[in-house]
Amino acid sequence: MNDATTGLVRRTRRRLAGVSPVAGVATVVAAVLLGNAAVQEPGLFIDQAIGGLVYGMILVMLSLGLALVLGLMGVVNFAHGALFMLGGYFTYSAMETFGLPFVAALVVAPIAVGIVGVGMEVVVLRRLYGTTPIIGLLATFGLTLMVEEAARFVWGASGLQPSKPEVLTGGTDLLVTRVGSYRLFTVFVSALSVAVVYYLIKNTDFGLSVRAGVQDGEMTEFVGVNLPLRFTAMFFLGSVIAGLGGALRVVEFGVDPGTAEEFVILAFVVVVIGGVGSLFGSVVAGLLVGWAQFLLPVVLSSLALVTGVAAIEVEGVGRLIPFLVMIAVLLVRPRGLFGEEGLLE
Amino acid sequence: MSEDERVTRRAFLQYGGATAGTAAAISLAGCSSGDGESDGTGDGGDDGSDGGDGSDGGDGSDGGTTDGGAGLESLSIGMVTSTSGPFAVFGNAAVTGAELAIQDLESEYDVSVDLTTADSQLDPSTALDEARSLVTDDGVDFLMGAVSSAVALKVAGWANQNGVTYFPTGAHSSALTGEACGQYVFRPSASNSMLANTIGAEMAAAADEWYLMYSDYTWGQTAQEAVSTILEDQGKTVVGTEAVPFPSDDYAQYINNAKASGAPAIGVLIAGLDLRKAANQIIAKGIQDRTLAMHQLEDIVYWGLDEESASILDIAGQVWGPGVDGGDDFKQRVADESEMDPYVRHLLGYMSADQGVRAAVRADTSDPDAMRDTLEGHEVDSPIVEMKGGGEMYWRAEDHQLVQPTYTVSSLPTGEMSNDPYKTWFEVEETFAGDDVVRSVADTGCSL
């Protein structure tokens, strides 16, 4: 055995040392099942793999703001869904009431949501830092109810949807499949948002000071950092991203007062799978859930085809899939995929 | 009018509810081991036998210009429907329709009609609580409403048990006039099986192989079963079905499956405004060239799309729509008095209130048994017949289904779509007599 081979074996052993046997077996089984699906139904497999990637990036957009506020500030922000919903309503009003073009609405609405978020942080959440997470959860749940009822009062109970920009209607041919143009635009904005947020948190003084403040607030303030201002700015950023998610969503699917609750659960699922405190984890989890949601039915139908057991192809399993993924991940790794011990990194 | 009887009925229900609540409170306070009536439903209402004698039933006339109901001075209607959430656009339209009917009925008869609405929140248990409250607290004379079949079935079960007249305004599940039918429930809209029979022949003629996507709850499940049965009876093949969660935030994966099935035709049995999401993603996927059929078209769903996207629809069944030749005044009134263009939910709200009030006027009482007697077998000749474009309409006594005309429609070419004075994007292809599409009594599974 030459040195290169020995090195490779050593590195592989080192990597596998941290992997539980259950995870290893699960990975092998998943690979076999996916391979079977790709062989049995190649066309559908490709369609669903790309569809899952697109949907996964949409989930990333949904959960990014929540991951930021929860991971860095330790606030279990149930109002994330309400901010997301407000992004949709503000975008609708900007476009339909004030006649702004879509691109302008995409800037104005998230900033307006950010301002609402600052109001929430200053009036309510600032008083709750350092308390147990359940207090923040209850407070933000109350805020959610207030925002929902306010939205119902202002915009009514019916669903609202602004017109989609002409250039983003229809589909785009990706050679192997065809995807809605607007969805691709959402993926682009989502990827851009992830990159900007990641840079801000990891590579700027602002991000560093916020992370330092979370770890040791007293010491951080002692060296002259205005921590309340930093936290407010971080909540503003999280709210802007939630608003941006809502703004993107409303044009495709509309918004109604139930939107807040519809998406916040899914966003929490993604953050928990990814691991609280890890932005990278949320990205991976979003993609994982997206792929699972699109590919698991193909895997089951292909398995049913091979084994001849029709019962394997469970119809209507779609809605359960994010939760099944969460259960599976938490069984193997209770902190989530990339989470650190405890609530905060 | 049997005011005393009504009071007795409500007093009984109120007493039942209060008793159950008290029992529950005592049980909790004393930590007793008894299970009491923990849901506090007070469901132990009467058996419906305390009503009138049924001898004062209708004479087969809707009253016309006669000043019916000399002893009936006022009526109150309780309407439990979706005024929030994904079905709000349907529930609110039905409320508008009911309000217009009340205007007309108050002009025609010397009777004051009051409408109280409650939000079902698309939740059967909430709807039941609201319905019970309307009857026991507000003292309404009869109930109407519901968009969701699951909600309607829940309220209908309670109404039948407690002898309360109920018109499930916009629910289409065949079960309501099938195995779950009851003495006091009268469905004013066409059933799923009627709509499936309406569209079945055209679907069978359009393609030999179909892939069916359906909303995974009562309405969608019964629609899928009905459409599948009709297609297979006509020798066609259903190559696959897909139960789609409702509401769903994404239809891409299901549309991928439909595409992969290779079926030349796709039946989209998706409820509510979710159909708009599905249609958008069908277009984005580029499979709109396949034959697309809908079991039940509600125009408003397509109004959320641009005209070109809306023009993808090939075949659909319909209870009514602005394209139907009839009810022009009604359509104009809806357009003038509400923020929505007229569509089927407006008419269903109108029909429910119209038929409920007229039944009470004919019976000269709001007693549920008397209303039932005057509705069963009744040949409708109120203005709703003209609104629906003419044709025979009657309440079938055996299952309480309002037998009525149905339609197949297709989308107009974009150049022929009209937006003024209200949107008309679809045209009627064929009108079906109610008797031609309604299932036989033996097939309903209903025994009254």
Calculate the average pLDDT of chain A: 86
Comparing alpha-carbon positions, the chain B residue that sits nearest to A166 is: B306
Spatial distance between the Cα atoms of A30 and A325, rounded to a whole number of angstroms: 12
Spell out the alpha helix ranges (H) of B38-174: 88-108, 124-136, 149-162
Give the residue-averaged pLDDT of B386-410. 96
Residue A49 with chain B: CB contacts under 8 Å: none
Contact flag A319-B257 (C-beta cutoff 8 Å): no
- End-to-end Cα distance, chain B: 26
Q: A15 falls in which pLDDT band (50, 70, 90)?
A: low
Query: Is the model's pLDDT at A83 over the cut of 90?
Result: yes
Comparing alpha-carbon positions, the chain B residue that sits nearest to A260 is: B85
Query: Is the model's pLDDT at B71 over the cut of 80?
Result: no
3-state secondary structure A95-142: HHHCCCCHHHHHHHHHHHHHHHHHHHHHHCHHHHCCCCHHHHHHHHHH
How many Å is the Cα radius of gyration of chain B?
Answer: 22
pLDDT at position B4, please?
42
Q: Which of A179, A253, A302 to mutate to test the interface with B (most CBs of B within 10 A)?
A: A253
Residue-wise pLDDT for A21-55, tens only, equals 777 788 888 899 899 888 888 888 988 898 889 88
pLDDT at position A18, please?
63
Residue B245 with chain A: CB contacts under 8 Å: 316, 318-319
The shortest C-alpha distance from B268 to chain A (Å) reads 16
Contact flag B280-A252 (C-beta cutoff 8 Å): yes
Query: Is the model's pLDDT at A292 over the cut of 60?
Result: yes
Contact flag A258-B252 (C-beta cutoff 8 Å): no
Residue A170 with chain B: CB contacts under 8 Å: 283-284
Kindly provide the residue ranges of all beta strands, DSSP E only, lying in chain A, ordered along the sequence. 171-173, 178-180
Q: B72 falls in which pLDDT band (50, 70, 90)?
A: confident
Q: Which residues from B are below 8 Å from A when comparing CB atoms?
A: 83-86, 88-89, 92, 119, 216, 241-245, 247-250, 252-254, 256-257, 259-260, 273, 276-277, 280-281, 283-286, 304, 306, 309
Please, what is the Cα angle at B81 between B150 and B390, to 5 degrees?
95
Spatial distance between the Cα atoms of A113 and A287, rounded to a whole number of angstroms: 26
Give the residue-averaged pLDDT of A199-214. 87
pLDDT at position A158, please?
64
High-pLDDT (> 70) share of chain A, %: 92
Q: Which of B242, B250, B301, B339 to mutate to test the interface with A (most CBs of A within 10 A)?
A: B250
Sign of the CA dihedral A143, A149, A154, A158?
A: positive
Q: What is the pTM of this model?
A: 0.72
User: Is any Cβ of chain B less than 8 angstroms from the Cβ of A42?
Assistant: no
Spatial distance between the Cα atoms of B182 and B163, rounded to a whole number of angstroms: 10
**Alpha-carbon distances of A298 from A27, A49, A56, rounded to whole Å:** 17, 10, 17
pLDDT at position B67, please?
39
pLDDT at position A134, please?
85
Spatial distance between the Cα atoms of B62 and B231, rounded to a whole number of angstroms: 38
pLDDT at position A157, please?
63
Spatial distance between the Cα atoms of B389 and B368, rounded to a whole number of angstroms: 30
Give the residue-averaged pLDDT of B396-405. 97
Q: Please, are residues A78 and A140 in contact by the beta-carbon 8 Å criterion?
A: yes
Token readout for B91 is 């529930």
The larger pLDDT score, comparing residue B48 to residue A186, is at A186
Lowest mean pLDDT among A107-121, A258-272, B349-363: A258-272
Give the residue-averaged pLDDT of B331-347. 92
Residue B270, phi then psi, degrees to nearest 5: -110, 135
Residue-wise pLDDT for A151-160, tens only, equals 988 987 666 7
Q: Please count the residue pairs, one from chain A and one from chain B, whose beta carbons lie less than 8 angstroms apart.
A: 103
What is the secondary structure of B35-57 as a DSSP string? -TTTT--------STTS--STT-
pLDDT at position A19, please?
64
Query: Is the model's pLDDT at B179 over the cut of 90?
Result: yes
Contact flag B85-A256 (C-beta cutoff 8 Å): yes
Query: Is the model's pLDDT at A334 over the cut of 80?
Result: yes
**Alpha-carbon distances of B424 from B332, B341, B421, rounded to whole Å:** 12, 9, 9
The larger pLDDT score, comparing residue B221 to residue B405, is at B405
Calculate the average pLDDT of chain B: 84
pLDDT at position B223, please?
86
Q: Which of B87, B211, B249 to mutate to test the interface with A (most CBs of A within 10 A)?
A: B249
Q: A131 falls in which pLDDT band (50, 70, 90)?
A: confident
The alpha carbon of B248 is separated from its chain's Cα centroid by a whole number of angstroms, namely 22
Query: Is the model's pLDDT at B191 over the cut of 90?
Result: yes
Query: Is the model's pLDDT at A84 over the cut of 70?
Result: yes
A 212-271: CB under 8 A from B: 252-254, 256-258, 262-263, 266
Residue labelled with tokens 């990205």: A283
Q: Which of B126, B253, B282, B301 to mutate to test the interface with A (most CBs of A within 10 A)?
A: B253
Residue B259 with chain A: CB contacts under 8 Å: 44, 47
Regarding beta strands B394-395 and B426-432, do their DSSP bridges make them parallel or antiparallel, or are they unpaired?
A: unpaired
A 142-181: CB under 8 A from B: 152, 156-159, 161, 163, 169-171, 173, 178-181
Residue-wise pLDDT for B221-258, tens only, equals 888 988 999 899 999 999 999 888 887 878 888 998 89
Regarding beta strands B402-403 and B394-395, do their DSSP bridges make them parallel or antiparallel, or are they unpaired?
A: antiparallel
pLDDT at position B413, please?
92
The larger pLDDT score, comparing residue B235 to residue B89, is at B235
Token readout for B280 is 């958008």
Regarding beta strands B74-81 and B394-395, do their DSSP bridges make them parallel or antiparallel, or are they unpaired?
A: unpaired
Residues 6 or more apart from A202 whose CB is under 8 A from it?
A: none
Residue-wise pLDDT for B299-325, tens only, equals 988 887 778 778 888 889 999 999 999
Spatial distance between the Cα atoms of B345 and B296, rounded to a whole number of angstroms: 12
Spatial distance between the Cα atoms of B395 and A187, rounded to a whole number of angstroms: 54
pLDDT at position B33, please?
33
Lowest mean pLDDT among B29-33, B146-150, B334-338, B381-385: B29-33
Query: Is the model's pLDDT at A12 over the cut of 70?
Result: no
